[in-house]
Amino acid sequence: MVITVCVAVYFIGANYLIHNLDQKLDIQTSSQSSQNDQSSKIQQSESNSTKDTQDWKLTLVNQNNLIPENYTIEVTELNNGQAIDKRAYPYLQEMMDDARAAGLSPIICSSYRSMEKQTRLFDEQVKGLQNQGKDYVDAVAEAKTAVAYPGTSEHQLGLAVDIVSEDYQLLDEKQEETPEYIWLSKNCSKYGFIVRYPNGKTDITGVIYEPWHFRYVGKEAAQEIMSKGICLEEYLEGSSSSSSAKS
- Tell me the pLDDT tens digit for each residue of 33-87: 444 433 333 333 333 444 444 699 999 999 899 998 888 889 998 776 778 999 9
The predicted pLDDT at position 80 comes to 66
pLDDT at 51: 47
Residue 158 pLDDT greater than 70, yes or no: yes
As a CATH number, domain 47-64+74-113+159-246 is 3.30.1380.10
- Average pLDDT, stretch 128-137? 97
Tens of pLDDT, residue by residue over 178-227, are: 999 999 999 999 999 999 999 999 999 999 999 999 999 999 999 999 99
Active site residues: 210
Task: Provide the pLDDT for residue 168.
Answer: 98
pLDDT(20) > 80: no
Q: Where are the domains of the chain?
A: 47-64+74-113+159-246
pLDDT value, residue 70: 80
Average pLDDT estimate for 24-36: 43
Determine the pLDDT at residue 7. Answer: 37
Question: What's the confidence (pLDDT) of residue 64?
Answer: 93
- Mean pLDDT lowest among 30-44, 85-99, 113-127, 150-164: 30-44
Q: Is the pLDDT of residue 120 over 50?
A: yes
pTM for the full predicted model:
0.75
More reliable by pLDDT, 164 or 33? 164
Q: Quickly list DSSP for the chain.
A: ---PEEEEEEEETTEEEEEEEESSEEEEEEEEES-------PPPPS---HHHHH-GGG---BTTBPPPTT-EEEEEEETTS-EEETTTHHHHHHHHHHHHHTT--EEEEE----HHHHHHHHHHHHHHHHHTT--HHHHHHHHTTTSPPTTS-GGGTT-EEEEEETTB-B-SGGGGGSHHHHHHHHHGGGGTEEEEE-TT-HHHHSS--EEEEEEE--HHHHHHHHHHT--HHHHHHHHHHHHHHH-
Mean pLDDT of 84-98: 96
Residue that wins the pLDDT comparison between 50 and 134? 134
